[in-house]
């Protein structure tokens, strides 16, 4: 078998009418999701973001182990079709109102028509048989169809299996448990998860601080758990973080697709004070930081030994791959991001944002491909409900390519005076596709809290190797030292 199409839940799930799509001649219904229409954000201002700041996208999923032919019929006019990641070198053929191309490898792809506002996401999974006994008492099984489960609390040795064609409306949490699995090719839909408003604030503020009047639950949250596997699922429309791990060990997150993030603080995959983790083969489109390694008080103070690899990231707000912002751990060490495509970025593509006391060291970004549009919209904090986003067709803004800094943040540092260090950091084989070179910066806090020993090795822009910091648009600021390029 060269490919397998998934059933669509028979009722209750919205389908997209933006495109028609076929795989090897067979029609594939498209799911509808909503994403942020522009980079316009506020720290929690007392109420949820208004829906007029979102826009629809479509996505399709199937499995394959051989190349397949995709044909797309957009139900609107267009002038340009682009398939990302650009590194896959897929050149679509346009004949009349039909777009065709070959997908040869499993992974996450995006077809864009005339820019980022018109996206079709295509998730090509590897063919896989999950050896799960759905009659086992420790298996929570959800088959094809729509299921409204509310809160699911997983315990040790339990498997949550969300099968093909299933749409599971749920929030999934676990604490002090081990040997937990969340598996399957179904959808975990978090759209029914709403914030609890605790009180009406007297002042919504200027968009820079959380007013603290709500309780919000992450879609998947694990605290102090070990031996965790999350494989194959699609997470749709998270209220806050899609996957949040706190103080966990031995974590595998494989082939997870994250889509439909438009609500405030909808991070992708955030590991807080976790150790021995692997995140691989994921597609992550978020409306806040996409993949983060963080630190918080109350959890292990030595953490890291983590790999993020073979992922595709689209970040509508925040940082695409980040250490921080919160770095409350004595050490965050031995973290590698490798072989990833960052197809859209907001504030920064690769970032170390140390706002606490963490000694962040032995961090590697390698074989990272970063894409920039001709025009990138500038992220803006919304100051009041009546303000609208000033989309600028002549914007000259570019997100940071590489950033490593130590700061005291007015909110995230929580008033703590201790500062950390950033050291022994490598950016290796970084490939940039853009009309002009994006900037990078490196800075510390004071003479004792520095960013140091940063190596940039084999940085290229549109295939041309850059040999010094100036032509790399890299700025070395105060309290940064031994920043080299080779």
Q: How large is the average pLDDT for residues 141-146?
A: 95
Q: What is the pLDDT of residue 294?
A: 98
Share of the chain above pLDDT 70, in %: 99
382, 368 Cβ separation under 8 angstroms: no
Distances in Å between the Cα of 20 and the Cα atoms of 71, 81, 103 are 8, 15, 17
Exposure letters 353-378 (e unless 16+ CB within 10 A, then b): bbbbbbbbbbbbbbbbbbbbbebbbb
Cis before 325 (ω within 30): yes
What residues form DSSP beta bridges with 483?
454
Give the pLDDT band (50/70/90) at residue 386.
very high
At residue 436, does pLDDT exceed 80?
yes
Give pLDDT tens digits for 216-237.
999 999 999 999 999 999 999 9
Task: State the Cα–Cα distance between residues 281 and 284, nearest whole angstrom.
Answer: 10
Cβ distance 255 to 277 under 8 Å? no
SS3 state at 86: helix
Contacts of 316 (CB under 8 A, 6+ apart): 35, 36, 39, 261, 262, 285, 286, 287, 344, 346
pLDDT for 12? 65
With a CB cutoff of 8 Å and minimum separation 6, the contacts of 470 are none
Per-residue confidence (pLDDT) for residue 385, from 0 to 100? 93
Q: 465: how many CB neighbours lie within 10 A of its CB?
A: 8
Domains 3-126 and 203-211+248-485 share a fold: no
pLDDT on residue 38: 96
At residue 250, the 3 state secondary structure works out as: strand
Tens of pLDDT along 87-100?
A: 999 999 999 999 99
> Which residue is listed with tokens 């100036």?
470
Q: Is the pLDDT of residue 11 over 80?
A: no
CA distance 402 to 472: 10
Q: If you write DSSP's letter for every residue of 164-199 in order, what string do you get?
A: TTEEEEEEEEEES-EEEEEE-SSEEE-TT--PEE--
Which phi and psi (to 5°) does residue 275 adopt? Answer: -135, 150
Do strands 400-406 and 348-354 pair parallel, antiparallel, or not at all (unpaired)?
A: parallel
Q: Please state the CATH superfamily assignment of the domain spanning residues 203-211+248-485 in this structure.
A: Single-stranded right-handed beta-helix, Pectin lyase-like (2.160.20.10)
Sorted by where each begins, the domain ranges of the chain are: 3-126, 203-211+248-485
> Does residue 205 surpass a pLDDT of 90?
no
CA atoms in the 13 A half-sphere facing the CB of 159: 18
**19-23 vs 26-27, strand pairing mode:** antiparallel
pLDDT of residue 450 exceeding 90: yes
Round to whole Å and give the CA distance between 362 and 351: 14
What fold characterizes domain 3-126?
Answer: Dex49a from penicillium minioluteum complex, domain 1 (2.60.350)
d(CA 183, CA 270): 19
Torsion sign across C-alpha atoms 400, 406, 408, 414: positive
pLDDT band of residue 9 (cuts 50, 70, 90) is: confident
pLDDT given at position 14: 82
Tokens encoding 343: 């197809």
Rounded percentage of the chain residues whose pLDDT exceeds 90 = 95
Q: What is the pLDDT of residues 22-47, one digit of tens each?
A: 999 999 989 999 999 999 999 999 99
Residue 42 contacts by C-beta under 8 Å, 6 or more apart in sequence? 49, 207, 264, 381, 382
10: confidence class by pLDDT, cuts 50, 70, 90? low
Give residue-wise pLDDT tens across range 260-290: 999 999 999 999 999 999 999 999 999 999 9
In this predicted structure, what is the pLDDT of residue 13?
77
- pLDDT-derived band at 7 (thresholds 50, 70, 90) equals confident
Integer Cα distance of 346 and 340 in angstroms = 16
Work out the average pLDDT over 297-307: 97
């Amino acid at each position: 078998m060269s490919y397998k199409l998934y059933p669509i839940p028979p009722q209750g799930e919205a389908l997209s009418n933006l495109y028609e799509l076929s795989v090897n001649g067979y029609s594939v219904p498209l799911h509808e999701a909503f994403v942020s229409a522009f980079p316009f954000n506020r720290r929690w201002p007392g109420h949820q973001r208004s829906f007029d700041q979102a826009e629809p996208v479509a996505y399709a999923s199937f499995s394959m182990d051989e190349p397949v032919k995709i044909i797309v019929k957009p139900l609107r006019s267009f002038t340009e079709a682009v398939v990302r990641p650009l590194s896959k070198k897929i050149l679509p053929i346009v004949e009349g109102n039909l777009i065709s191309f070959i997908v040869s490898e499993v992974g996450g792809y995006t077809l864009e028509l005339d820019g980022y506002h018109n996206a079709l996401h295509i998730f090509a999974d590897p063919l896989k048989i999950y050896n799960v006994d759905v009659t086992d008492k420790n298996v929570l099984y959800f088959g094809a169809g729509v299921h409204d489960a509310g809160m699911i609390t997983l315990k040790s040795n339990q498997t949550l299996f969300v099968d093909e064609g299933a749409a599971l409306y749920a929030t999934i949490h676990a604490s002090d448990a081990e040997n937990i699995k969340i598996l399957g090719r179904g959808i975990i839909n978090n759209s029914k998860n709403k914030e609890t408003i605790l009180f009406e604030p007297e002042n919504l503020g200027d968009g820079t601080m959380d007013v603290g009047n709500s309780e919000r639950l992450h879609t998947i949250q694990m605290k102090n758990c070990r031996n965790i596997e999350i494989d194959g699922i699609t997470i749709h429309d998270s209220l806050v973080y899609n996957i949040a791990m706190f103080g966990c060990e031995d974590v595998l997150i494989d082939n997870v697709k994250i889509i439909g993030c438009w609500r405030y603080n909808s991070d992708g995959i955030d590991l807080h004070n976790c150790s021995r983790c692997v995140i691989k083969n994921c597609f992550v489109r978020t409306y806040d930081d996409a993949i983060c390694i963080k630190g918080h008080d109350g959890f292990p103070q030595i953490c890291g030994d983590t790999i993020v690899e073979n992922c595709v990231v689209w970040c509508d707000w925040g940082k695409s791959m980040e250490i921080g912002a919160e770095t409350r751990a004595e050490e965050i060490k031995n973290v590698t991001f490798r072989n990833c495509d960052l197809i859209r970025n907001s504030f920064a593509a690769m970032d170390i944002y140390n706002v606490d006391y963490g000694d962040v060291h032995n961090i590697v970004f390698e074989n990272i491909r970063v894409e920039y549009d001709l025009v990138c919209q500038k992220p803006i904090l919304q100051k009041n409900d009546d303000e609208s986003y000033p989309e600028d067709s002549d914007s000259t803004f570019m997100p940071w390519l590489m950033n490593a800094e130590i700061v005291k943040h007015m909110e995230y540092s929580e008033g703590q005076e201790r500062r950390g260090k950033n050291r022994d950091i490598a950016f290796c084989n970084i490939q940039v596709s853009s009309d002009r070179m994006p900037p990078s910066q490196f800075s510390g806090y004071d003479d004792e809290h520095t960013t140091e020993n940063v190596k940039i090795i084999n940085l290229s822009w549109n295939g041309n190797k850059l040999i010094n910091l100036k032509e790399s648009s890299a700025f070395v600021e105060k309290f940064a030292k031994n920043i080299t390029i080779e």
